[in-house]
Structure 1
Amino acid sequence: MPISWFKKYLGQRGLDGGIPVEFTPRAVILGLLIGSLLCFTNLYFGLQTGFISMMSLQSSLIGFLISRMLPTPLTPQELVVVQTTSTATGTMPLAAGFVGILPALSKLEEDRDGSPPIHLTWAAAIGWSFAVAFFGVFMSPPIRKQVIIEEQLAFPSGTATAHLISVLHKLPPPESPKGVSDGYERVADEEDHAISDDESAADVELERDVEETGWKALIWSFVPSGILTLAAYFFPVIFAIPIFGYDLARTWMWTFTPSLSYVGQGIIMGYPVTLSMNFGMLTGWAILSPLSKHMGWAPGPVGSMTDGARGWILWISLAIMCADSLVSLLPVVAGYAKDVFGPYLGWSTTAKEDNEVEPPERLVPGSWVVIGWAVSVAVGTVLVWAVFGHDGIKPWATFLGFVLGGLLSVLAVRALGETDINPVSGLGKISQLFFAWIQPGNIVANIIAGGVAEAGAQQAGDLMQDLKTGHLVRASPRAQFYGQLIGSGVSIFVTATAYSLYTRAYEIPGPTFPAPTAWVWLSLARLLRDGELPERSGVFMLAFAIIFAAVAAWKNYAARRGKWYTKWIPSGVAFAIGFLNTPSFSIARLLGGVLEHIYRTRVAKADSQDIRLIVVASGFVLGEGVTSVISLILRSCGVGAISCWGCGHGMCGGCPA
């Protein structure tokens, strides 16, 4: 095979036969590599805290830095394909329920739930993942037309990623028509990408500074995060430091985890969100947990999910999430109903004129969407039946789960486009309520069907952020569609393999990986079947639901009127996450949020091109994510902690004792 042909095949040209020019092998391969790393990282953190990140902005940044080592750097549109493929690969742990649904099924009790624990084999996990991996992808193209082209929703994270790509490639701002045109012409150029004569020396210097600064910041943040994580594996007390002494750590679970990855996640989440999370942590763990214990409402050990304070405050968390999500969805539902039914009732609608800028050959044909969605639903229904059996969930219920998932995905996408929050937690609870009605008394069916519905909503929503980026940078929607399909397909095997390795090495849920969202799914399913709440929890659930319904209404009202203080109104979902996780998970994220606020307001306030903190945060997160794979290998080989010194409080998950 001639070397020149091989270089052209791996170059920026793409393939012949109608394949979009930016859909190149190198872009897809790079996206899969980054996405596979993020998949392990998201599974690791998702099982710990219930929180995962799309990391689309970080995928673009890492892809750009790596591409600078290639003979021909990636074009902006190829970088979008990298980002899209990476996101589809990296978010599968949540889309397929590996951080919530499957751990919940593993905690079933036959005497209480009517079903023994369900532990999927690797092959069964592959089948389950394949069942839910694609139908959300096929939902994306038609929804894109409505929310990105017609309504032109903001999708803040997708827009921010487009801005970053524009900065990295020295393009005009994405909003500018000139920026869109120039970006597209550059990828279609017949010559290799090179610095033209009229590019200024300042632009060249900026590009070199971004590359040099980016690599240095990434390495200098990646290495200490990895070293600290490995040290904590051999000396577990490093990640379980008692805050107020051993007695309070042992009794009330007050420890501190100085994880740099948690700091990085706090930077990514931002100061307002981490502040809401820590307000929730203080309310749950400093007030309600001791109150429920001392009043005898939660008589068991504090950390018990069945009769302890942690299980008691879980219900208040659930009420907050449902109230916040449902109230936040009301304007979305009203707007959608107005757009759909308005013309028939003579109402004015919010839909704008057709602003589609892509020619048909760069769009996803409608026939592909219809056929693909129908096939994915049919195959998915059969696979769910094959994995869980007829006693687990009936095929007609699974089919309804897919249909409900399609409807909920519209709400998820619109909420995400307006608020940058995908309310899958609330949507998942809606699906559970629906299936408690149509198939009552079956906890397994309730969890599985709810997970099927949630998968489509989560996947369609998160992938829409990437389509917004592609729209602004003028990447081919069809190229992104290909990347989404490939990324989702590869991630089936990556996620199932990673989960199988973790379940062999660790107890899940367990001390190291508590999988808090699994208890949310299981607790609601049990409530819907039995109708029994822990003592006095119902009163607090109602009170907090009313409070945060009002807070959510206020936040939505302020956001729609562009009030400056909107971001400082507490987030109900973030507040509730503070309840789900022990204090150790929230405090370090607050440190990251404070660091982000100080840096943004005092250091980089006049420099919109300063990306150093983003790079540092990415290095922190990836450092622990990569090292966690090493820790997993060591654990599988029987290599444990060197010393359990300082672990007298019983909060160190790494010790075999």
Structure 2
Amino acid sequence: MAQGERENNVHENGWVEEEENDPNQKNKRNLRAEEEEVISVERYFENQEVPSWRQQLTVRAFVVSFVLSILFCFIVMKLNLTAGIIPSLNVSAGLLGYFFVRIWTKFLSKSGFLKQPFTRQENTVIQTCVVASSGIAFSGGFGSYLFGMSGRIASQSTDTTHIKDPALSWIIGFLFVVSFLGLFSVVPLRKIMIIDFKLTYPSGTATAHLINSFHTPEGAKLAKKQVRALGKFFSFSFLWGFFQWFYTAGDDCGFVYFPSLGLKAYKNKFYFDFSATYVGVGMICPYMVNISVLLGGILSWGLMWPLIENRKGDWFSADLSSGSMNGLQGYKVFIAIAMILGDGLYNFLKVLSRTLTGLYTQIKQKEVGVILPVADRSSPVDTSIETSYDDQRRTQLFLKDQIPTWFAVAGYVAIAAISIGTLPHLFPELKWYHIVVIYLFAPTLAFCNAYGCGLTDWSLASTYGKLAIFTIGAWAGASHGGVLAGLAACGVMMNIVSTASDLSQDFKTGFLTLASPRSMFVSQVIGTAMGCVISPCVFWLFYKAFDDLGLPGSQYPSPYAVVYRNMAILGVEGFSSLPKNCLLLCYVFFGAAILINLLKDFLGKERGWFIPIPMAMAIPFYIGPYFAIDMCVGSLILFVWQKINKPKADAFAPAVASGLICGDGIWTLPASILALAGVKPPICMKFLSRATNTKVDKFLSS
């Protein structure tokens, strides 16, 4: 698309009149064309007036954001409660936001009521609001720490006394208290992050380029085609989910339980479950993520668990139930935890070292007399450094609408004070001094996460959350409810550092689309407030509709809830809760995760592309590799498509994948309502072995 724009500019400027056969003229023309391409984005929009920050915050933008937030919260919640792998949905949010407002403006334009045209700044506001709202579905802990407090998850662990079952009232209150602090903590540093340090924020940059392209003539044509493809596969995915529902009248019924690779493989969780969601996720995730998940499933369910199962009666009692943490279940959970912690520790130290090195280098380059700028010190751009037209234009508008530092500090202190007074009432095990310590360190950790995310595109929110689990849990102690204190502290920390990195990404997107920092901040606040209400309501619908939610082998096993609770138990009680030889295996896999990461970084991207990712390998250790097969099918579809027509695959694969994910995700809404209403499917489709089928036939004929 950019290539096409550049060629059009070449023709319009008359450069084709030069001699086509002269190599020097060709080189000069190509050089000029490349220079023009660098500055073509804002040159293209220079005749369009940039709306004020208030005009960017339109009613239609937030109406569309609210509708899309509900859709995306269902998607993220379903992913949270199944396998826990959540791809980036920024592209889908930007694309659908563009589509809905385009329909809105087209209708009003024909009616003669259109007062304000649809701009890329408004598109950015929608994308920011939707991602902020659906982000609460992840950082809210519905598939991890928050659900890990419940009695349903506690029954699968060694500690069944310290529980706090979900209730809509306290969940909404908790999220409102803890979800806004991260926004205020990073606001004073936005100029340092975006302009002075020029952090890349790859996801934010990619989203900005996408939105910018939508609002060019060629980009609008492509966007329409992408939306059409998304709509087709959305409809297919939704109808496929509806069709499957008819065959799920009993336990283990439906296409989900089809033993596509054989009954023996099915027993060990190797089967294709016909999930449009994870086929779509596989098309979005990098190939190595999908292969790593499959390798982890083969290593655990194909090799390790059958071997450990054979040690029944030696390593653990043969009389234990299948869900006992002192039996095979304990190995599944704690070895997965060891790999997650090993990978998390390595990446934490890696990103932290890069953060400190980058900070040192960039501060060193500044003159001694220069004070690091914050929001109130909008120092002029250094004119000694030649900057492009785009950078000058973007910097000028980014510095125009200031968010005062006193406002950010006052907001942080006010919300922190409310939080310190409120959280001990919600969680008596979490004392006020625990919260004070968290809030003293949180701004520094939020900055580290936002800076590291700008360098690497990795948010380590869950790693900081695990750090809070172990420190606060051990501080509170087992006798004073350290398990609940650790899980609650995890929620406080995760929400702060997660929203800080999300807002920094949005500031980068806004910088590149000329959206005001004020509109970005307000949009993030409104989106977060939406998420604090929508996400708990969506979770509550799942919780009430599916009685087996969170149980092993169910449709929604919520694997990370068990993992997080057992992390808290491990932090409070130590290693005494581990079954025989489990600690040794944990050491081995903890070290293996670090060594694999070291080897991957040592070989580099070009030579180490085939090295698996330990975090992805750990995911199927607990729930099995069935979803990995779906994801690998998605990878295979994308691979074949790229071989046949790479440009078309690159342009439309994200839209197709988003349609598959959105359609299957939104089907959970009517499925939940049907379950709550007591409407049951009419058919049970089961798959039996030949021997079992013979017994059933004999029983029925007798």
TM-score (norm 1): 0.83
Any idea what SS the aligned residue of 2:626 has? helix
State whether structure 2 residue 220 is matched by structure 1 residue 207: yes
C-alpha displacement of 1:645:
2.6
C-alpha displacement of 1:255:
3.4
Q: Which runs of structure 2 are paired with 1:98-177 in the superposition (5 Å)? A: 98-106=142-150, 107-108=153-154, 113=159, 115-170=161-216
- The superposition leaves residues 329-376 of structure 1 with CA deviations (integer Å, 9 ceiling, x where unpaired) of 223323444466779999999x99878544544232212211111122
Letter in 1 for 2:433: W
State whether structure 2 residue 445 is matched by structure 1 residue 445: no
Distance 1:230 1:429 in 2: 38
| Cross-structure match for 2:41 | none
| Cross-structure match for 2:533 | 493
| Cross-structure match for 2:269 | 253
**1:153–1:418 Cα contact (<8 Å) kept:** yes
Identify the match of residue 233 of structure 1 among 223, 232, 245.
Answer: 245
- The change in CA–CA distance for 1:214 and 1:496 in structure 2 (over 3 A counts) is same
Where in structure 2 are there 5+ consecutive unaligned residues? Answer: 1-47, 107-116, 249-253, 374-380, 383-390, 690-702
Where in structure 1 are there 5+ consecutive unaligned residues? Answer: 1-11, 171-202, 650-657
After superposing the two structures, state which structure 1 stretch, 266-275 or 628-637, moved more. 266-275
Distance 1:50 1:444 in 2: 22
Distance 2:542 2:646 in 1: 40
State whether structure 2 residue 285 is matched by structure 1 residue 263: no
| Cross-structure match for 2:419 | 380
| Cross-structure match for 1:630 | 670
- The superposition leaves residues 278-314 of structure 1 with CA deviations (integer Å, 9 ceiling, x where unpaired) of 1112112111221221123465789636245344122
- The change in CA–CA distance for 1:112 and 1:331 in structure 2 (over 3 A counts) is closer
C-alpha displacement of 1:619:
0.7
Q: Which runs of structure 2 are paired with 1:399-478 in the superposition (5 Å)? A: 399-441=436-478, 442-478=482-518
Letter in 1 for 2:210: L
Identify the match of residue 304 of structure 2 among 276, 284, 288.
Answer: 288
Distance 2:324 2:186 in 1: 37
Distance 1:344 1:468 in 2: 21
After superposing the two structures, state which structure 1 stretch, 630-639 or 229-238, moved more. 229-238
Distance 2:320 2:210 in 1: 48
Distance 1:522 1:572 in 2: 21
Distance 1:150 1:214 in 2: 36
Distance 1:318 1:87 in 2: 28
Distance 2:155 2:227 in 1: 50
State how many pairs are aligned.
Answer: 593
| Cross-structure match for 1:326 | 345
State whether structure 2 residue 83 is matched by structure 1 residue 45: no
Any idea what SS the aligned residue of 1:514 has? coil
- The change in CA–CA distance for 1:579 and 1:13 in structure 2 (over 3 A counts) is farther
After superposing the two structures, state which structure 1 stretch, 152-161 or 32-41, moved more. 152-161
Distance 1:499 1:540 in 2: 35
**1:634–1:640 Cα contact (<8 Å) kept:** yes
Distance 2:633 2:346 in 1: 30
**1:385–1:394 Cα contact (<8 Å) kept:** yes
Identify the match of residue 364 of structure 1 among 403, 407, 415.
Answer: 403
Distance 1:495 1:583 in 2: 27
**1:261–1:620 Cα contact (<8 Å) kept:** yes
Distance 1:449 1:324 in 2: 21
- The change in CA–CA distance for 1:310 and 1:270 in structure 2 (over 3 A counts) is farther
C-alpha displacement of 1:485:
0.4
- The change in CA–CA distance for 1:364 and 1:103 in structure 2 (over 3 A counts) is same
State whether structure 2 residue 130 is matched by structure 1 residue 93: no
C-alpha displacement of 1:630:
0.4
Q: Which runs of structure 2 are paired with 1:187-202 in the superposition (5 Å)? A: none
What's the C-alpha RMSD, in Å, of the aligned pairs? 3.1
Any idea what SS the aligned residue of 2:619 has? helix
C-alpha displacement of 1:604:
2.5
State whether structure 2 residue 685 is matched by structure 1 residue 645: yes
Any idea what SS the aligned residue of 2:154 has? coil
Identify the match of residue 585 of structure 1 among 588, 612, 627.
Answer: 627
Distance 2:163 2:247 in 1: 32
- The change in CA–CA distance for 1:447 and 1:44 in structure 2 (over 3 A counts) is same
Distance 2:330 2:158 in 1: 16
**2:597–2:613 Cα contact (<8 Å) kept:** yes
Determine what percentage of the aligned residue pairs are the same residue.
Answer: 25
| Cross-structure match for 1:528 | 571
Distance 2:276 2:362 in 1: 53
- The superposition leaves residues 225-264 of structure 1 with CA deviations (integer Å, 9 ceiling, x where unpaired) of 11221223232321222244445534x3333211111111
- The change in CA–CA distance for 1:169 and 1:599 in structure 2 (over 3 A counts) is farther
**2:145–2:561 Cα contact (<8 Å) kept:** yes
Any idea what SS the aligned residue of 2:200 has? coil
- The superposition leaves residues 609-639 of structure 1 with CA deviations (integer Å, 9 ceiling, x where unpaired) of x531111111111101111100000000011
Distance 1:314 1:427 in 2: 20
- The change in CA–CA distance for 1:430 and 1:469 in structure 2 (over 3 A counts) is same
Any idea what SS the aligned residue of 1:393 has? coil
**1:255–1:584 Cα contact (<8 Å) kept:** yes
- The change in CA–CA distance for 1:226 and 1:430 in structure 2 (over 3 A counts) is same
Distance 1:300 1:138 in 2: 54
- The change in CA–CA distance for 1:210 and 1:332 in structure 2 (over 3 A counts) is closer
Distance 1:348 1:576 in 2: 47
Letter in 2 for 1:277: V
C-alpha displacement of 1:564:
2.9
| Cross-structure match for 2:587 | 542
TM-score (norm 2): 0.78
- The change in CA–CA distance for 1:585 and 1:20 in structure 2 (over 3 A counts) is same
Identify the match of residue 638 of structure 2 among 591, 596, 607.
Answer: 596
Distance 1:431 1:116 in 2: 18
- The superposition leaves residues 453-486 of structure 1 with CA deviations (integer Å, 9 ceiling, x where unpaired) of 1221222223332222222222111111100100
Structure showing greater Rg: 2
